[in-house]
Amino acid sequence: MAGLFAKTIAQLAVLANVVGGGRFARRHAHTGIQDCYSSIDGKPLLTLNLCTHDAVKEVEDHIAAGSFTLLTEERDLELAAGGVCTNTSVACGAGMADELLRRPSVTLVSADAGGFYREMSGTAKSFVEASMDEMSSEFYSDWRDLDTRMARVEAAVQSSGGAAQLEVAGKSVEGRDIKVVRFRGKGFSAGMPRLVLSFNIHAREWISGMAGVYAVEKLAARAKEDPDWLAGMEIVLVPMLNPDGFQHSTGFWRFHRKNMRVVDGTLCTTGVDLNRNNPTAWGKFGAASRCAAETFRGPSALSEPETQTMDKLFKEAPMTAYFDVHSFSQLLLSAWTWTKEEHPRAAEFAAYGSKVHAAIEGKHGQTYKFGPAAQTLYVASGVISDYATTLGALGYTIELRPRTALHPLLGFTPSPREILPTAEECFEGILAAIANLHTV
């Protein structure tokens, strides 16, 4: 056990060097204040190498019994059940960890899961601008809470000199505003080029929402500086599509994915996966009918007010292109997601997407894999980018940093150091999407 622990510490030091600027992570004592990691404070953090259906069944049984807290995607379990070896992370009690660590397929990462994530990634914080006339880049030095993010969006719109408009497009299941920032260029009318983007559809993907705020801010500044830049086109951004789920992820459970729909049933967990709730191939593949699953598709297509809001937004006018911004894995994905069959507009997807892809990679030299979603990542139905494609747009999904090299530990919880460069990469892609919108 001592040898295993020493090996684990060495591995963790390498990980800390990658995400923490070479500084070994020091676990701070928790203050007792409730935050998004409190439920796993003091619990050992383990990585499990899974290769068989039996191994997955054991993990699933522990999750159902409440003795395991899954900290990565359920997709990893599905892959392992199919015979593909994958790593997954769990938090569990100390006694169970001692038993599991006798197996070569189990590795101890930290004796305190909550402390590990609190130190390596941190919590969402407020931020007060010294001057709203010159918004500080320090905003992007750390994770920000919902009110702070939306205040920054509002300030960016107010400073745009009328180039941007802030609207309430709908309400979430808990009644929060779903806000839209609209840039309508001179002379635009329905049928002209129109680009729609959404961010943070999955609650735990914080870096996506930070990229959305950054995009609003930079687009507002550029549109103000050059009033003719967006002539004859419209750009619409939804910087926070899942405000309820995000709020829950910042205050109670960092790894929450879905919205906050209360689902009837003793075995259900809160929420519907908004990225499995859309009409295109709804309920077919990669979308769970089990209400406890992370990919629970909901009782029917567009059952959720958040997806209904996007439906209305999509149908205001024909869309040229749509990007739904997620994390993680550094991917640019085109249609289809629900089938591996080639889309009839595959050449258009490749031509337009390649320009966005090159711009994202060109900003900081990071590698993003580009291809049809079902062939590049996995098959899933009811996905919002597929629905946009069904309605006539070129619909894409962007998966931001980090790459899977840090998976399964820090995929959804990267270091705050990643926020600004990731937002910059995403914004370069958006600029390329705008610049080439007339070519679609």
Q: Are residues 317 and 383 in the same domain?
A: yes
What percent of the chain lies above the pLDDT cut of 90? 79
Q: Are residues 95 and 215 in the same domain?
A: no
Mean pLDDT value across residues 102-121: 95
Helix (H, G, I), strand (E, B) or coil at 231: coil
Q: Are residues 111 and 181 in the same domain?
A: no
Instruction: Give pLDDT tens digits for 323-342.
Output: 999 999 999 999 999 999 99
Residue 177 forms part of a structural domain = yes
Identify the pLDDT of residue 118: 97
Residue 396 forms part of a structural domain = yes
Instruction: Give pLDDT tens digits for 141-183.
Output: 999 999 999 999 999 999 999 999 999 999 999 999 999 999 9
Listed residues 120, 152, 175: the one ending a domain: 120
Rounded to the nearest angstrom, the gap between the alpha carbon of residue 46 and the centroid of all alpha carbons in its chain is 23
Q: What is the CATH number of the domain that holds 198?
A: 3.40.630.10
CB 72 within 8 A of CB 410: no
Burial 323-362 (b: 16+ CB within 10 A, else e): bbbbbbbbbbbbbbbbbeeebebeeebeebbeebbebbbe
Mean pLDDT value across residues 411-416: 94
Facing residues of 427 across strands?
Answer: none
Q: Of 76, 58, 77, which is closest to residue 68 (Cα–Cα)?
A: 58
Q: Are residues 224 and 363 in the same domain?
A: yes
The DSSP call for residue 259 is: -
Identify the pLDDT of residue 129: 75
Q: Are residues 29 and 105 in the same domain?
A: yes
Residue 14 forms part of a structural domain = yes
What percent of the chain lies above the pLDDT cut of 70? 90
Q: Give the gyration radius of the chain's Cα atoms.
A: 21
The DSSP annotation for 203-230 comes to TT-HHHHHHHHHHHHHHHHHHHH-TTTT
The DSSP annotation for 314-368 comes to HTTS--SEEEEEEESS-EEEES-SS-SSPPTTHHHHHHHHHHHHHHHHHHH----
Q: What is the CATH number of the domain that holds 61?
A: 3.30.70
CB 145 within 8 A of CB 126: yes
In angstroms, the CA 48 to CA 434 distance is 43
Listed residues 71, 92, 120: the one ending a domain: 120
Residue 114 forms part of a structural domain = yes
The DSSP annotation for 281-319 comes to TTTSSS-BSSTTSTTB--SSTT-SHHHHHHHHHHTTS--
Q: Are residues 33 and 162 in the same domain?
A: no
Domain that holds residue 285: 137-439
Instruction: Give pLDDT tens digits for 38-65.
Output: 999 999 999 999 998 898 899 889 988 8
Residue 146 forms part of a structural domain = yes
Q: Are residues 80 and 157 in the same domain?
A: no
Least confident of 226-230, 260-264, 395-399: 260-264
**Residue type (1 letter), 170:** G
Using alpha carbons only, give the angle 301, 181, 420 rounded to the nearest 5 degrees.
100
Identify the residue whose tokens are 């996966």.
273
Instruction: Give pLDDT tens digits for 304-326.
Output: 999 999 999 999 999 999 999 99
Mean pLDDT value across residues 213-227: 97
Burial 380-418 (b: 16+ CB within 10 A, else e): bbbbbbbbbbbbebbbbbbbbbbbeebbbbbbbbbbbeb
Listed residues 63, 90, 120: the one ending a domain: 120
CB 398 within 8 A of CB 433: no
> Which has the higher per-residue pLDDT, 344 or 25?
344
CB 408 within 8 A of CB 88: yes
Mean pLDDT value across residues 90-98: 93
Q: Of 3, 99, 110, 4, which is closest to residue 47 (Cα–Cα)?
A: 110
Residue 131 forms part of a structural domain = no
Q: Of 199, 42, 245, 213, which is closest to residue 142 (Cα–Cα)?
A: 213
Identify the pLDDT of residue 345: 98
> Which has the higher per-residue pLDDT, 30 or 27?
30
Which helix (H) or strand (E) is 424 found in, with range? Answer: helix 419-435
With bands split at pLDDT 50, 70 and 90, how would you rate the model's confidence at 8? very low
Mean pLDDT value across residues 1-29: 36
Identify the pLDDT of residue 177: 98
Q: Are residues 268 and 369 in the same domain?
A: yes
Residue 72 forms part of a structural domain = yes
What CA dihedral angle connects 315, 400, 333 and 295, to 10 degrees? -70
Instruction: State how many domains the chain has.
Output: 2
Burial 184-209 (b: 16+ CB within 10 A, else e): bbeebeeebbbbbbbbbbbbbbbbbb
With bands split at pLDDT 50, 70 and 90, how would you rate the model's confidence at 84? confident
List % helix, strand, coil for the chain (3-state, nearest 5). Answer: 40, 15, 45
With bands split at pLDDT 50, 70 and 90, how would you rate the model's confidence at 132? low
Q: Are residues 38 and 145 in the same domain?
A: no
Q: Are residues 228 and 88 in the same domain?
A: no
Instruction: Tell me phi and psi for residue 180, to 5 degrees.
Output: -125, 135
Instruction: Give pLDDT tens digits for 151-162.
Output: 999 999 999 999
Which helix (H) or strand (E) is 399 found in, with range? Answer: strand 394-400
Strand 331-334, strand 394-400: pairing: antiparallel
Tokens of 192: 């002209």
Residue 108 forms part of a structural domain = yes
In angstroms, the CA 37 to CA 33 distance is 10
